[in-house]
Amino acid sequence: MGDVYCSDCKRATEVVFDHSAGDTVCSECGLVLESHSIDETSEWRTFANESGDNDPVRVGGPTNPLLTDGGLSTVISKPNGVTSDFLSSSLGRWQNRGSNPDRSLILAFKTIATMSDRLGLVATIKDRANEIYKKVEDQKSSRGRNQDAILAACLYIACRQEDKPRTVKEICSVANGATKKEIGRAKEYIVKQLELEMGQSVEMGTIHAGDFMRRFCSNLGMNNQAVKAAQESVQKSEEFDIRRSPISIAAAVIYIITQLSDDKKPLKDVSIATGVAEGTIRNSYKDLYPHMSKIIPSWYAKEEALKNLCSP
């Protein structure tokens, strides 16, 4: 019950919600203030004496168009009761004997979901990775290859296509033991297979150094002003012909910005946060140094501060 304004009583009165009809009724005059309301609460009741393992939900998950049965198949769980041995030896055995054509797909999708969760990726990237894997699996040409590398490569391509790229090293950290080399080979293989199926080149999206800045800066705990300066510096660095990978440029810019701030970060910390080797950061720093005055925003650092930076 709660107080709601009643048009007949001309004042706020207590109302009663009729769950069976979905009506909100004034308790004094009986006027139906709202009808056919949608009850957004749970559709079940949970009692205190029920065990925590019981799941009273009677609805399944959403349909999955990538699966043959739409993901609506039934799985018989093993109960903890007295008849568990009987059920597990009869119903469970018959279910295991049944051929499920989507069993490998379901396991692959679960692995992709686990990797996505560990990387903090959104659902659209996970779904795109599932679609890519489904296309590759339908061609029946990935047998004998490293499955973990294939799944990791699907996730890497999905990140690129959704303009949320991750480094190969980041993907490798959740790839269940697959190496960077294996993931790189799997990526080339998947792209080749998709091009054969589609008859055209696969759009992977262009990687920019700015795509990694906010995440790398967050790993180092940089303040908002330093993050803003790093993002502006990366955008200006694209105007110059600096022949380094976007990840290396991002790491070098972050190192420069931290050296110009009060909270200076050692090169080792920047290397750990970005996943770029210290030697690579030094070489990128060397390439950026001649353009320092044009890259670093003037509002963040004056020319005198730039001159005080160590020469490469």
Please indicate, yes or no, if residue 88 is contained in any of the structural domains.
no
Residues 187 and 215 in one domain: no
30 in any annotated domain: yes
**pLDDT band at 95, cuts 50/70/90?**
low
Residues 193 and 118 both lie in one domain: yes
Q: Which residues contact 247 (CB under 8 A, 6 or more apart)?
A: 167, 207, 209, 212, 274, 275, 276
Number of structural domains in the chain: 3
pLDDT, position 36: 76
What percent of the chain has a predicted confidence (pLDDT) above 70?
79
- Calculate mean pLDDT across residues 196-202: 75
Is residue 191 domain-shared with residue 228, that is, in the same domain?
Answer: no
Residue 97 maps to a domain: no
72: in domain: no
The residue whose two tokens read 């349909």 is 63
Q: Tell me: do 231 and 272 sit in the same domain.
A: yes
Provide the CATH number for the domain around residue 219: 1.10.472.10
Q: What is the pTM of this model?
A: 0.69
Do 214 and 301 belong together in one domain?
Answer: yes
Last residue of a domain, one of 198, 222, 250: 198
**DSSP letter string, 174-238:** TSTT--HHHHHHHHHHHHHHHHHHHSSPPP-----THHHHHHHHHHHT--HHHHHHHHHHHHHHT
**171 and 136, same domain (yes or no):** yes
Residue that finishes a domain, picked among 163, 198, 233: 198
DSSP bridge partners of 15? 2, 26
**Residue 261 and residue 297 in one domain:** yes
User: Do residues 300 and 214 both lie within one domain?
Assistant: yes
In a domain, 228, yes or no: yes
pLDDT of residue 78: 59
| Confidence bin at 73 (pLDDT 50/70/90) | low
Task: For residue 254, tell me if it sits in a domain.
Answer: yes
Domain span at residue 125? Answer: 103-198
Residue 288: pLDDT over 60 = yes
- What average pLDDT does the segment 294-298 reach? 89
**Which of 18-22, 30-34, 157-161, 299-303 is predicted least confidently?**
18-22
Across 33-61, b (16+ Cβ under 10 Å) vs e yields beeeeeeeeeeeeeeeeeeeeeeeeeeee
Interval 271-285 mean pLDDT: 92
73-82, 158-167, 193-202, 285-294: least confidently modelled range: 73-82
- What pLDDT, in 10s, does the model give residues 228-268? 999 999 999 988 888 889 999 999 999 999 999 888 889 99
To the nearest whole number, what is the mean pLDDT of the chain?
81
- pLDDT at position 124: 92
pLDDT of residue 40: 64
Other beta carbons within 10 Å of 311: 6
Same domain, 216 and 281: yes
Are 238 and 151 within one domain? Answer: no
Domain assignment present for residue 78? The answer is no
The number of beta carbons lying within 10 Å of the beta carbon of residue 10 is 8
Q: Identify the bridge partners of residue 32 per DSSP, sorted by sequence position.
A: 25
CB 220 within 8 A of CB 212: no
Residues 257 and 289 in one domain: yes
Residue 258 in domain: yes
Q: Does pLDDT of 197 surpass 80?
A: no
Closest CA to 238 of 219, 196, 210, 267: 210
* Claim to verify: residue 223 and residue 300 sit in the same structural domain: yes
